[in-house]
Structure 1
Amino acid sequence: MKAVLVDGYIDEPAAFGVSPYISPKIRLLAGILFRAGYEVEYHTIDDVRKKELWEAFRGHQILVVHGGITTPGRYVGGNPVTLNDIKKLLSGNKEPQKIICGPIALGYSLKGGTKAMNVELSEVDALLSHELQLADFLGLELKGSRYEILNELYPIGARIVPQHPRYPDVMIEFDISSGCERSDGYCSFCTESLLYGKFESRDLRGIERELRALKDVGVKALRFGRSANVVAYGYNRDVGKPDPEAVENLFRLATEILKPEVLHIDNGNPIFIAQYPEESRKILETIARYDTPGDIISFGVESFDETVRRLNNLGGSAEDILKAIEIVNEIGAFRVDGVPKLLPGINLLYGLPGHSKETFKIDRAYLKKIYDNDWLIRRLNIRQVMIFEGTPLSHQVLPKFSKKAFIKHKETIRKEFDTPMLKKVFPVGAILRKVIPEYTQGDITFGRPLGTYPILVGSPVKFESPTDMVVIGHGIRSITAIPVNADLNSLSLRELTFLPGIGKNRATMLVLNRPFKNWEELVNLLEQETVNNLKKLRLQIGGKTDCLKSR
């Protein structure tokens, strides 16, 4: 029996699956299909579009399309499935049983500021909001608690990873907990409790089994992203404190088994960190010891406006958030090859009850506090709320929202906060390991490393495989870089003009005076400061690098 699994990508508050990420839900569905006796063929929706596979699955018995966006974003690695995509797949493949699965069953929308609409497709045999419902549909009897079942199915589903079109350069989104640890209710808009209920940590034995299965299929990049709060792993409400030992065991296990090239996290609750500072410090120290550079702990701040926080049950205060940001910076802002090890990320959400013109001002004022305190923020996401049936927000009256004021607000933040912060986080001379080329625009090749919210890198030097890159400049929300150990004698005139302090005239002078035998020859042509800046870029002259490391 043959089944095809089409990955339409997910983006939830605590789960991500847009290429090159592979969500745990995809591996769960594959595990169910394998367990039911099917031979499983796996495609991303981008692969279907690129190869025109709209009618390619007529000979299969089962067609499963999985996807759904509940937190809007912009994506470089792939474009989430649309209703038109689904309709084309359904109409082009009449023979197999057709199943639509995932958050899309709760409602469909691809952008913020909208209410998700119900999905109505007459050709579908089943519309499933929870992946385990596929087992019921197939008549597969599974016994045990939810995580007992997942612990069995995830390792089986790991077999589909090598079928991903970007393998082996894929990022595994890994499940360590579900639900929210809060006991005082949930945020008005969040689908985490809607999808997963109360907080539960996954046991280490199940985690170990899946890690070994992932190792067997060649996985080298892992993120503990399927968690609303990684700092709460092992947390027991009855005990009432975080469990640093549980987090230590989790990260040590992953490191020992996979020896990953990339080990990152995603979500953390800043209020939880501020509430339990002593235990949280120990946990963050563990994370910063085991993870790889460029990691982010994403804070769902949503708003610094206390009125918005109160009306949407966001918990805690704006000052609690500042305290959590300070703690993460104290522990994780040290640098490896010029890149901070672990920094906070901030999510801000607009259009919530209580939002007013003052909200924009309050948020900007707090961002200024962060900047003035010299705390580093790795990335800032600014979004409009998406409304899903079943959340408290779906029953509330929303304020009038000025799209014009929102856009102006975003532009102001980019100018006053994003770009200056980017220069702090990624100084000239910092090294990004294994940047993977994504696309080309004109003479610039763009790529990203594997990781949490990876920075977009534009290079005037063409590269076609994963390459270590050194920062030479900054855009608004991206950086400019060249390959490490690029030879100053080989760079073209155009490429030389991108180097800091060079420009067209100096680039021309360098070309006319090449080849250089050593760095001392450059001092006769350029100012010492310019030469020092070039040394930061890990450039080679005569096969030698004489670099001055960035701070």
Structure 2
Amino acid sequence: MDVYPRYIAGAIWSARKDVQVKYLTVDQARTLDYMFFQEANSYDLVIVIAGVTVPGKYLGGKPISIKELEEWFKIIDKPSKILVGPAAKFGIGTVGGKVAELPTKIKENFDVIVKGDPEVFVYEVIREDSLEKADPYTMRASYNEIEEFIIKGTRIVTQHPNYGLNLIIELETYRGCPRVITGGCSFCIEPLYGLPKFREQKCIVKEVEELYKLGVKFFRLGRQPDIFVYKARKVGLEEFPKPEPSEIEKLFRGIRNVAPHLKTLHIDNVNPGTVAHHPKESREVAKIIIKYHTPGDVAAFGVESVDPMVVKQNNLKVTMEEALKAVKVINEVGARRGYNGLPELLPGINLLFGLKGETKKTYELNYEFLKKIVEQGLLIRRINIRQVMVFPRTRMWAIGDKVIRKHKPYFKSFKLKVKKNIEPVLLRRLVPRGTVLREVFTEKYINEYTYARQVGSYPLMLKIPEKLPLRKFMDFTIVDHEHRSAIAIPYPLNVNKAKPKLLRLIPYMSRDEVLAILKNRPFKNLEEISLVLKNRECLKYLTVC
């Protein structure tokens, strides 16, 4: 759950504590169908949070579409309607290319389109009981303005459909870009917020404490371009300020003190340039994070491109050598396997195409970079290959989607090559056959498979060739690999009840041993099973219960 609904609900309750606030996800609205329209029309005010700033496909839900924004909010015509979020600030984008201006049909459906900070605007609307008296362009000057909103808004999480299950909460540590002093990356919206404004540790810890009291156990410190420079002293003076490990420890220690039995504490973005320029301090920060976090964590590196021409023209962060150095530093500290089956902390690699200066050579150099990661035996949690979404007021706006359209064949070919030659190798290295992953949440059925993931920043997708109970936490054994997901079976597997197709997938088990199990079951204990097995290694994946 992102910050928008929490901050907005908190703003409403800060202005008037007696207001009834109802929260719905867009997927819930789709399921309710006409009942959603009926209910929405019974309210005084409807606030729509729409749009994404990072393109992608999401298993957990599908963002609201242009068509839905056009049609739904024409039908919902009785309450006042406010549009907030990336769609309101920047427009509508999809996979890659220029973000489109909001269509007139959508604009006409809303009384106000908020270009500023929605929680500040909504607070004024409720306090003044007037849309006209509030300024939709107002931005908060500091976090002090909204810390009350943040705390009061925590209880809205209880209305999320995944509350009490696999709901992960995004926590904001700061916004703004340390590299704004050199202009920041050409495509990025973060420099538009200026230099970082940091939240105080005590405020973030208080928010976690309130959420934890409500039963939330999964947290992600996201919403910043680089967690490693949280409260770094030389922000605003240096492009790559030196991390302050003591400040980061104060934050993480505080979180664990108020949420001692949390189940996920992960990070998100890390600037690879910070790690490359300050390897000593970055190692220290990584060790601190590992001390307090939960395994399976990902430091998402916005490498974007290692082509020197593209790096220069778009003011990117690292050269190929620096990117490799950053990957190595995180591997040195975080590659050891944690209690849930995954390595403690690994890099993720973001590659972005369609940028200024891109040529065919760009694709060759980026592939060479990934190949070097494989050849040097390094671990990567995941590779994100995307086409740039072009936002207004960024330097890429003048370029638009020209490069994307021109290089479409290169992009398709590159993705296919990585899918075939790079990702399977890295995945097998990440979770070798026989790896046991703990606390995996079963989410949905697709064909005859159950899809399941651990709760975290960038969870690995598991496909289980059987329909298991949904919305349950289970343990699984990895038995095979696809390019981005793994095939798994329940751990331990009940040999007395398991279907033959699952028995055939047990590591170290031969076809003859499967037939022997089917012929001789039920078994009373593992010792009985061992009598029909040639390789006792299988036993560690089995049970008779």
Give yes or no for TM over 0.5. Answer: yes
Q: 1:439 aligns with which of 437, 441, 444?
A: 444
Residue-by-residue CA offset, 1:144-193 (whole Å, 9 max, x unaligned)? 84200221111111110010011112000000111111132210000112
Query: Please, which runs of 5 or more residues in structure 2 have no aligned partner?
Result: 129-133
Structure 1 74/524 Cα, relative in aligned 2: closer, same or farther at 3 Å? same
- Which residue identity lines up with residue 490 of structure 1 in the other structure? K
Instruction: Write the distance in 1 (CA, Å) between the matches of 2:272 and 2:37.
Output: 44
Instruction: Write the distance in 1 (CA, Å) between the matches of 2:121 and 2:258.
Output: 31
**Alpha-carbon offset, residue 428 of structure 1:** 2.3
Contact 1:227–1:267 at 8 Å: present in 2 too? yes
Which residue of 1 is the match for residue 469 of structure 2? Answer: 463
Which residue of 2 is the match for residue 109 of structure 1? Answer: 93
Contact 2:354–2:407 at 8 Å: present in 1 too? no
Contact 1:151–1:207 at 8 Å: present in 2 too? no
Structure 1 205/484 Cα, relative in aligned 2: closer, same or farther at 3 Å? same
Moved more, 282-291 or 491-500: 491-500
Equivalences for 1:252-331 in 2 at 5 Å? 252-259=253-260, 260-331=262-333
Q: Secondary structure at the residue paired with 1:481?
A: strand
**Alpha-carbon offset, residue 403 of structure 1:** 2.1
Instruction: Write the distance in 2 (CA, Å) between the matches of 1:54 and 1:404.
Output: 43
Matched, 1:499 2:506: yes
Instruction: Write the distance in 1 (CA, Å) between the matches of 2:438 and 2:274.
Output: 32
Matched, 1:133 2:131: no
Contact 2:91–2:101 at 8 Å: present in 1 too? yes
Instruction: Write the distance in 2 (CA, Å) between the matches of 1:402 and 1:384.
Output: 10
Equivalences for 1:364-403 in 2 at 5 Å? 364-396=367-399, 398-399=402-403, 401-403=406-408
Instruction: Write the distance in 2 (CA, Å) between the matches of 1:347 and 1:428.
Output: 26
Equivalences for 1:55-204 in 2 at 5 Å? 55-105=38-88, 106-120=90-104, 121-129=107-115, 130-131=117-118, 132-139=120-127, 145-168=141-164, 169-182=166-179, 183-194=181-192, 196-204=193-201
Structure 1 73/503 Cα, relative in aligned 2: closer, same or farther at 3 Å? farther
**Alpha-carbon offset, residue 433 of structure 1:** 2.5
Q: Secondary structure at the residue paired with 2:23?
A: strand
Task: Flag as ranges the 4+ runs of structure 1 deviating above 6 A.
Answer: 141-144
Which residue of 2 is the match for residue 29 of structure 1? Answer: 8
Structure 1 358/251 Cα, relative in aligned 2: closer, same or farther at 3 Å? same
Instruction: Write the distance in 2 (CA, Å) between the matches of 1:452 and 1:371.
Output: 23
Moved more, 126-135 or 381-390: 126-135
Instruction: Write the distance in 2 (CA, Å) between the matches of 1:167 and 1:439.
Output: 17
**Alpha-carbon offset, residue 472 of structure 1:** 2.1
Contact 2:232–2:242 at 8 Å: present in 1 too? yes
Which residue of 2 is the match for residue 16 of structure 1? Answer: none
**Alpha-carbon offset, residue 489 of structure 1:** 2.3
Matched, 1:227 2:224: yes
**Alpha-carbon offset, residue 278 of structure 1:** 1.7
Matched, 1:50 2:55: no
**Alpha-carbon offset, residue 477 of structure 1:** 1.1
Instruction: Write the distance in 2 (CA, Å) between the matches of 1:290 and 1:450.
Output: 17
Q: Secondary structure at the residue paired with 1:512?
A: helix
**Structure having the larger proportion of residues in strand:** 1
Instruction: Write the distance in 2 (CA, Å) between the matches of 1:311 and 1:536.
Output: 55
Instruction: Write the distance in 2 (CA, Å) between the matches of 1:26 and 1:228.
Output: 21
Instruction: Write the distance in 1 (CA, Å) between the matches of 2:233 and 2:530.
Output: 63
Which residue of 2 is the match for residue 546 of structure 1? Answer: none
**Alpha-carbon offset, residue 411 of structure 1:** 1.2
Contact 1:55–1:89 at 8 Å: present in 2 too? no
Instruction: Write the distance in 1 (CA, Å) between the matches of 2:29 and 2:511.
Output: 44
Residue-by-residue CA offset, 1:127-158 (whole Å, 9 max, x unaligned)? 01332233344456999842002211111111
TM-score normalised to structure 1 length: 0.89
Contact 2:270–2:300 at 8 Å: present in 1 too? yes
Which residue of 2 is the match for residue 547 of structure 1? Answer: none
Structure 1 136/395 Cα, relative in aligned 2: closer, same or farther at 3 Å? farther
Which residue of 2 is the match for residue 333 of structure 1? Answer: 335
Instruction: Write the distance in 1 (CA, Å) between the matches of 2:531 and 2:451.
Output: 35
Query: Please, which runs of 5 or more residues in structure 1 have no aligned partner?
Result: 1-21, 544-551
Residue-by-residue CA offset, 1:13-35 (whole Å, 9 max, x unaligned)? xxxxxxxxx00122111111222
Which residue of 2 is the match for residue 479 of structure 1? Answer: 486
Structure 1 501/432 Cα, relative in aligned 2: closer, same or farther at 3 Å? closer
Moved more, 503-512 or 218-227: 503-512
Instruction: Write the distance in 2 (CA, Å) between the matches of 1:267 and 1:396.
Output: 26
Instruction: Write the distance in 2 (CA, Å) between the matches of 1:432 and 1:421.
Output: 17
**Alpha-carbon offset, residue 521 of structure 1:** 5.3
Residue-by-residue CA offset, 1:398-449 (whole Å, 9 max, x unaligned)? 4353323311211110111111111111122323222222211333211112
Matched, 1:408 2:413: yes
Q: Secondary structure at the residue paired with 1:499?
A: coil
Contact 2:303–2:318 at 8 Å: present in 1 too? no
Moved more, 490-499 or 297-306: 490-499
- Which residue identity lines up with residue 193 of structure 1 in the other structure? P
**Alpha-carbon offset, residue 312 of structure 1:** 0.5
Instruction: Write the distance in 2 (CA, Å) between the matches of 1:117 and 1:430.
Output: 48
TM-score normalised to structure 2 length: 0.90
- Which residue identity lines up with residue 246 of structure 2 in the other structure? E
Q: How well do the aligned residues superpose, as a CA RMSD in angstroms?
A: 2.1
Instruction: Write the distance in 2 (CA, Å) between the matches of 1:88 and 1:57.
Output: 14
Contact 1:460–1:498 at 8 Å: present in 2 too? no
**Alpha-carbon offset, residue 504 of structure 1:** 5.9
**Alpha-carbon offset, residue 328 of structure 1:** 0.3
Instruction: Write the distance in 2 (CA, Å) between the matches of 1:164 and 1:280.
Output: 36
Q: Secondary structure at the residue paired with 1:161?
A: helix
- Which residue identity lines up with residue 274 of structure 1 in the other structure? A
- Which residue identity lines up with residue 70 of structure 1 in the other structure? T
Contact 1:113–1:386 at 8 Å: present in 2 too? yes
Q: Secondary structure at the residue paired with 2:51?
A: strand
Structure 1 383/536 Cα, relative in aligned 2: closer, same or farther at 3 Å? farther
Instruction: Write the distance in 1 (CA, Å) between the matches of 2:385 and 2:505.
Output: 30
Between Structure 1 and Structure 2, how many residues are aligned?
Answer: 516
Contact 2:273–2:326 at 8 Å: present in 1 too? yes
- Which residue identity lines up with residue 121 of structure 2 in the other structure? Q
**Alpha-carbon offset, residue 244 of structure 1:** 0.6
